Amino acid sequence: MGSNPLPSFVIVLILLVLNGQGPMTAKVEAKSTVHIVYLGERQHDDPKRVTDSHHDLLATLVGSKEVASDLMVYSYRHGFSGFAAKLTESQAKKLSELPGVVRVIPNSLHRLQTTRSWDFLGLSSHYPNHVLQNSKMGDGVIIGVFDTGIWPESKAFSDEGLGPIPSHWKGVCKSGDQFNAATHCNRKIIGARWFIDGFLAEYGQPLNTSDDPEFLSPRDANGHGTHTSSTASGAYVRNVSYRGLLSGTVRGGAPRARLAIYKVCWNVLGGQCASADILKAFDEAIHDGVDVLSLSIGYSLPLFSDVDERDGIATGSFHAVARGITVVCGAANEGPSAQTVQNTAPWILTVAASTMDRALPTPIMLGNNKTFLGRAIFTGKEKGFTGLTYPEGTGLDPTSAGACQSLSLNSTLVAGKVVLCFASVTSRVSVRLAAATVQEAGGIGLIIAKNPSDALIECRDDFPCIEVDYEIGTRILYYIRSTKSPTVKLGHSKTLVGKPVSAKVAFFSSRGPSSIASEILKPDITAPGVNILAATSQLDQWMDGGYAIHSGTSMATPHVSGIVALLKAIHPDWSPAAIKSALVTTARTKDASGFPLFAEGSPKKLANPFDFGGGIVNPNGAADPGLVYDMGLSDYIHYLCAMGYNNSAISRLTGQSTACPAEKPSFLDVNLPSITISSLRSSVTLTRTVTNVGSPNSIYRADIEPPTGMTVTVKPHILVFNSRTKKISFNVTVCATKQVNTGYFFGSLTWRNEQNAVRIPLSVKTEILESYADDN
């Protein structure tokens, strides 16, 4: 354990963005007695023998099986071997030294991170002959969701028209607080259970409070889990809107897929999830027979290593992927800063968030007959022209009084008026505090000038909170200062869809490169995650008629999980890596008008692979990718050896004896559907292998867009497949044309034939270290 053990209570994040702002990441430290004892792959197929061996191992330390049973929190016995137990630091250290024990680490906590989105992605039910119909809407596929539970009464979880429960399902539905398995589970919600022992052992406080209601059952008190589950696999529900906006039919990506609910996150401080509980959920889900796992969960930077069980997700997902289960995770909401992406293991499918071709313009009409369009969710009572004010300050910092996060208001000057403020802190909490301050002073509306972002902040009680960018905010301010009696009229928000609105990578979406291994491109793919309308808990404070609008990579993740279920229905023999490759190589890098995608930020810029991975997910293209960059256990071992992990840890993780080569292998030869070179000195040659999953007799030619300042050659540059040749390897050589140090430049390699374009992104940074030596 070492002489300076890390704090055992490490916060991680629910990937539900606070409407465009990254989550709070303050660490909470507390003494913990729960430790996860990781033993790697199970040594027996009999779960009872595995559990008995855990009790025997713990009994050797504590003196008896009775005491061991009292200390045991969980036995992990299906997907891998290990247990969670209450231990002192001394006991944990002794246990870590026993033969067969890979690691003993403290438990840790993670935090939690629609009508139009499926049409935007090309999955409208009005068009035949695409992936939605060809997959029978995901029928027979089981999506496991790790989250805050589910609100089973929602129409989104109706089982009308569904056939029998898939025969490969081996899980259970458990009754609990206000959740009756006999009535709340059906042919849609086929499994539901909860995992809380690891969390309770750490939290040590009452769980169900007036501020944070909760249920000891699969029932969702938060709304996050219901929202993600219905986005992935909700049934069709017609005539849904949110306060009269975004009207249409709500459904999930795979409407006929089945749901298995694993409640691992609890309604405390916005959503808390313990690693011990997450690992147990992985263990059970692997046993239960899920086909896809969807996790909108993450943690705070810095990242844990891939073999550190405090992550919980990397370890559990490895065992799931090894058994053919695709694991889909959110990239996190720490954007737009670089190197903030999470869930970076190459076996995980990591999802960034984008906007879509939909906006909610809200008119702001000034008394000088000029009208500006802001953004809001405002459908309350529309007033005529009223007073408009900006709280001017005095002294050395005259603008401080008008800062949204620290408004200083004179009730006499504000009463009955709309207030303009400028926000440097744009979290949902700070904006809503500003709105509350204006309301308390008698104001009737708020215009917030802020860094542009499409993730909207809704205020309570239909109080208008209209967002504009700094330029428009400044023009409104100049109008206020130009007249003695400035006035304004705030109009209702409208729903605008289609080509006038271009999709962008969301401001909050975490960006690459990975802070663990920059050569492993993350995120992998991008999906809609801004202003997503989906079902929610009746306890969600932002609920309207059982539905709510939320933003975050939490919302993007289940979009991809639903699409993966459709692909799994069409191609049940595809590996998780093949599915990832199909998504990445067919993704869109341009909007509907043919213009390159942008990424929100300061300033807005052209998006690159560190923003969106392969691009915005294209479900119909992914169903027929032509070629895939497949990977299996040997590829993941190659990666683990390249990371420098020791043979023992790798062997235990993979369940087979592993000896890494004396010379550390290169990350560049991991068979990813991308090429990322973080330090190109002069030239480098790497290898990729593609597998033909299209027409048996196919010929592909290489089409190269080299990054600026590079030459890229591919050998062979023509690939010929037939009934005997299904896999072909090729070499890629990248050369720097100038001996200079640069940032990253981007390009692509596309294999083309008459039917398919199989594109992978190239990201290259030159770093000519020799030049420093020459100068000395």
Q: Tell me the pLDDT tens digit for each residue of 590-646.
A: 887 788 999 988 788 999 999 999 999 999 999 999 999 999 999 999 999 999 888
DSSP label of 270: T
- Tally the C-alpha atoms within 13 A of residue 95's C-alpha that lie toward its C-beta: 31
DSSP label of 589: -
What pLDDT is stored for residue 359 in this prediction? 76
Mean pLDDT value of segment 546-560: 93
Place of tokens 């059982």: 546
Residue 136, Cβ density class (10 Å: 0-12 exposed, 13-18 middle, ≥19 buried): middle
Nearest to 82 by CA among 278, 218, 304, 264: 278
Summarize pLDDT for 56-66 with one digit per residue, the tens: 888 888 888 88
How confident is residue 459, by pLDDT bands cut at 50, 70 and 90?
confident
How confident is residue 4, by pLDDT bands cut at 50, 70 and 90?
very low
Helix (H, G, I), strand (E, B) or coil at 385: coil
What pLDDT is stored for residue 748 in this prediction? 97
Summarize pLDDT for 638-671 with one digit per residue, the tens: 999 999 888 888 887 888 888 999 899 999 999 9
What pLDDT is stored for residue 154 in this prediction? 96
pLDDT exceeds 70 at position 19:
no
Summarize pLDDT for 406-424 with one digit per residue, the tens: 787 888 888 999 999 888 7
694's enclosing H/E stretch is: none
439's enclosing H/E stretch is: helix 428-440
Q: Which positions are catalytic?
A: 147, 224, 554
Query: Strands 417-422 and 258-263: what pairing?
Result: unpaired
Instruction: Return the higher-pLDDT residue of 775 and 359.
Output: 359
- Cα end-to-end distance, the chain, whole Å: 44
Instruction: Spell out the residues 6+ positions from residue 766 whose beta carbon is closer than 8 angstroms to its own.
Output: 679, 680, 681, 709, 710, 736, 738, 740, 741, 742
Residue 593, Cβ density class (10 Å: 0-12 exposed, 13-18 middle, ≥19 buried): exposed
Place of tokens 């306060």: 243
pTM of the model: 0.85
Strand partners, 124: none
DSSP label of 129: S
Asked if 101 and 134 count as a contact pair (C-beta separation under 8 A), the reply is no
Asked if 561 and 389 count as a contact pair (C-beta separation under 8 A), the reply is no
Point out the least confidently predicted range of 76-80, 478-482, 612-616. 76-80
- Tally the C-alpha atoms within 13 A of residue 70's C-alpha that lie toward its C-beta: 5
The token pair at 205 is 């406080």
What pLDDT is stored for residue 72 in this prediction? 87
Helix (H, G, I), strand (E, B) or coil at 429: helix
How confident is residue 489, by pLDDT bands cut at 50, 70 and 90?
very high
Return d(Cα 516, Cα 304) in angstroms, integer. Answer: 8
Q: Mean pLDDT, the chain, as a whole number?
A: 86
